[in-house]
Structure 1
Amino acid sequence: MSGPAFRTALTDLTGARHPLVQTGMGWVAGPRLVSATAAAGALGILGSATMTTGQLRNAVREVRGRTDQPFGVNLRADAGDARERVRIIVDEGVKVASFALAPSRELIAELKDAGVVVIPSVGARRHAEKVAAWGADAVLVQGGEGGGHTGDVATSVLLPQVVDAVGIPVIAAGGFRDGRGLVAALALGAAGIAMGTRFLLTSDSTVPDAVKARYLAADVRDITVTTAVDGLPHRMLRSELVAGLERAGRPAALLRAVRHAASFREVSGVSWARMVRDGLALRRGKDLTWSQVLLAANTPMMLKSALVDGDPRGGVMAAGQVAGVINDLPSCQELVDRIMAEASRTLERLRPSA
């Protein structure tokens, strides 16, 4: 196990040995991946949006049983049970809370009062400014290269814009996979980098082998942004299913969304009443139409079909553009060691010769 190559505001804030974050991917970032990431010296983040509250508590305890290194939990700030999940984080002594949407000022204060580090994820400067003003400890900013729901501004443009706008540590996401990317992000003012697809494509990830093979076979032209899945821009692998969804049109998509909402309710244990409340919050938070809110019910179950059930034909595969240049499945320890060693070599190469 390698020692820290360098110290940043991110390592100081979280206690992780390296300025690397594994993002809280739903269905993917479970106890096995998170504990392997944390043990390797990076900051692993549990993806709790697809867990019940009971499953979340059990997952936190499982990670704690596997490693004594710091880790975090990712929450949906607009979820009806967000406060209950915050209480679990506080009760269980989790080091970091990250958020897929901007948390309220009150949630940030509650977590900070309990000594939890708060790191919201944002895709625009104005959102970073808002959460910084509300007391967030750091912010994770994802450029358009990132997988899943994404924007249209490249990381290389968005990152320095946010760094210049806020006085808290900024973590860069979207397009990172190696030590060269880490050095580039640090040069642009980041305190570290966050990676989803790169950690998904490790031997510690529970994503089925057949689906990992689809990712590894992709090149950069095989990764697209579509609104056909849930009405929002969503970066994923091209597939027969995605093409079919784009051809099907809105009425068929809405009918499918109702079916998937029922399936997700059964898997998650969430009541219809809570799903409606969450939908209302999502509509307000993202200024969506009711059609788009209904389509958003597609996402969890369509991701589960591929990432858990191993059916790439029946599900969708969220992917950053970086998937097109990843061709191996190292362990988390091998990946982290490799990134940090390459970062050190890159810095050495950039150092002026005497």
Structure 2
Amino acid sequence: MRTRITELLGVEFPLFAFSHCRDVVAAVTGAGGFGVLGAVAFSPEQLDRELSWIDERVGGRPYGVDVLVPGRIAEVAGDPRESLVEAIPDVHRDFVSHLFRKYGVPVSERTSGSSADEAGRRVTAEGATGLVDVALKHPIRLIASALGPPPAAMVEKARAAGVPVAALVGTVEHARRQVAAGADIIVAQGGEAGGHTGEISTMVLVPQVVDAVGVPVLAAGGIADGRQVAAALALGAEGVWCGSVWLTTEEAETPPALKRKLLAAGSLDTVRSRSRTGKPARQLRSAWTDEWDDGLESPGSLPMPLQMLLAEAAHTRITRAAESGNPGAQALSNYFVGQVVGQLNQIKPARQVLYDLLTTYATTLNRLTTINNS
């Protein structure tokens, strides 16, 4: 599988594995794919440790880092003197407490402190640039920017280090804007993908983006086996970016109770909701999304990063309770996942998932060749 992407990044297979789990990144990279570590959950010090761990295990093979840089964010996030946690309205805190009582989950303490504020500021341009500074001290081969055009400082630093910049988009207009901002690679992510997405499907979005920009394009959204890889390349993409498919691997840090929930889910069991981050993100539908999006008592989601801080603090408690067998917590529990969750029906090593993608890709090409020659 030789494309412009494999030549640019020096990777054997143009199969990208986005994950917040270093074990998945290392496993896929070691097997010839391209692991991309999601950095938003880490402080600069934590990211440095995670990347050092990966460096020791991938034997010099190329991998990347993804940072979250939304184009628009709550104004309070721009003033370091303001506490993000204290900016969360009491009505929203009270609603979370109400949900905990309704579903029998132990009520959490009030989220506070500088660590929570630091977590919220990681999704600002300044915070993301700090993570980029750490990442560029390691032998990474790609920096990816999600949700907004890569900040100029981020592009300049990456250019100086000889590291290409990728940007995730959900529309053609966004793709053009990202290339103008300095992106070397565009990840065209369809609305069926997990996490922050637009509303245009991958099948429609990818060829439009390929035609609109001159840089290499990766297809994302709805890709969990080799048939979908082949379809993405047929649409003009030069590789694929996968996220959901790694959530049920052996290496994934997905909590066991949540992993079982993902394995049992179908493709109709996901929803685009603002209830986890404040921006539309596809995730597993649960009592949490139903209560925030449709509940009569819901105050409505806050803008990012305030909703993210509120929700993640709550889900830390929900996950802990769900793992102890609390049925209400299990009903509330969810995570970001795409519609391909309906194809995730067994736990496999990440390396095996990569090899299965390659095997069914080759089988699909053989089938198409047979059809063409018949």
Taking structure 1 as the reference length, the TM-score comes to: 0.81
Q: Aligned partners of 1:33, 1:224: CA distance in 2, in Å?
A: 25
Any residues of structure 2 matched to 1:242-321 within 5 Å, and which?
A: 242-248=289-295, 252=299, 294-302=306-314, 304=316, 310=323, 312-321=330-339
Q: Deviations over 1:8-43 (max 9, x none)?
A: 12211222211111124xxxx222111111112111
Task: Report the Cα offset of residue 228 of structure 1.
Answer: 3.7
Question: Secondary structure of 1:344's match?
Answer: helix
Q: Deviations over 1:149-204 (max 9, x none)?
A: 21111111111110000001101111000100011000000011111110112111
Q: Aligned partners of 2:192, 2:356: CA distance in 1, in Å?
A: 22
* Equivalent residue, structure 1, for 2:23: 32
Q: Aligned partners of 1:242, 1:298: CA distance in 2, in Å?
A: 14
- Count of paired positions: 310
Contact conserved, 1:111 with 1:117, CA < 8 A, in 2? Answer: yes
- When residues 328 and 165 of structure 1 are mapped into structure 2, their CA distance, relative to the original with a 3 A threshold, is same
Task: Report the Cα offset of residue 219 of structure 1.
Answer: 1.0
Does residue 80 (structure 1) correspond to residue 126 (structure 2)? The answer is yes
Seq. identity, %: 33
- State the AA in 1 paired with 2:160: D
Contact conserved, 1:169 with 1:190, CA < 8 A, in 2? Answer: yes
* Equivalent residue, structure 2, for 1:103: 150
Q: Aligned partners of 1:94, 1:228: CA distance in 2, in Å?
A: 33
Does residue 323 (structure 1) correspond to residue 341 (structure 2)? The answer is yes
- State the AA in 2 paired with 1:7: R
Any residues of structure 2 matched to 1:332-351 within 5 Å, and which?
A: 332-351=350-369
Q: Aligned partners of 2:215, 2:297: CA distance in 1, in Å?
A: 42
* Equivalent residue, structure 2, for 1:51: 42
Contact conserved, 1:75 with 1:99, CA < 8 A, in 2? Answer: yes
* Aligned CA-pair RMSD: 2.2
Q: Aligned partners of 1:149, 1:304: CA distance in 2, in Å?
A: 20
Question: Secondary structure of 2:35's match?
Answer: strand
Q: Aligned partners of 2:182, 2:287: CA distance in 1, in Å?
A: 44
Q: Aligned partners of 2:251, 2:308: CA distance in 1, in Å?
A: 29
Q: Deviations over 1:232-283 (max 9, x none)?
A: 32211122222222344576456xx7xxxxxxxxxxxxxxxxxxxxxxxxxx
* Equivalent residue, structure 1, for 2:136: 90
- When residues 293 and 65 of structure 1 are mapped into structure 2, their CA distance, relative to the original with a 3 A threshold, is closer
Q: Aligned partners of 1:117, 1:176: CA distance in 2, in Å?
A: 23
Does residue 20 (structure 1) correspond to residue 15 (structure 2)? The answer is yes
Q: Which moved more, 1:309-318 or 1:209-218?
A: 309-318
- When residues 302 and 94 of structure 1 are mapped into structure 2, their CA distance, relative to the original with a 3 A threshold, is farther
Contact conserved, 2:221 with 2:338, CA < 8 A, in 1? Answer: yes
Structure 1 gap ranges (5+) = 1-5, 258-290
- When residues 347 and 247 of structure 1 are mapped into structure 2, their CA distance, relative to the original with a 3 A threshold, is closer
- Which one of the candidate residues 45, 64, 71 is aligned to 2:63? 71
Structure 2 gap ranges (5+) = 70-123, 324-328
Contact conserved, 2:293 with 2:300, CA < 8 A, in 1? Answer: no
Larger radius of gyration: 2
- When residues 293 and 63 of structure 1 are mapped into structure 2, their CA distance, relative to the original with a 3 A threshold, is closer
Contact conserved, 2:276 with 2:312, CA < 8 A, in 1? Answer: no
Contact conserved, 1:306 with 1:316, CA < 8 A, in 2? Answer: no
Q: Deviations over 1:184-230 (max 9, x none)?
A: 00000001111111011211111122211100101122112223444
Question: Secondary structure of 2:262's match?
Answer: helix
Any residues of structure 2 matched to 1:221-260 within 5 Å, and which?
A: 221-248=268-295, 252=299
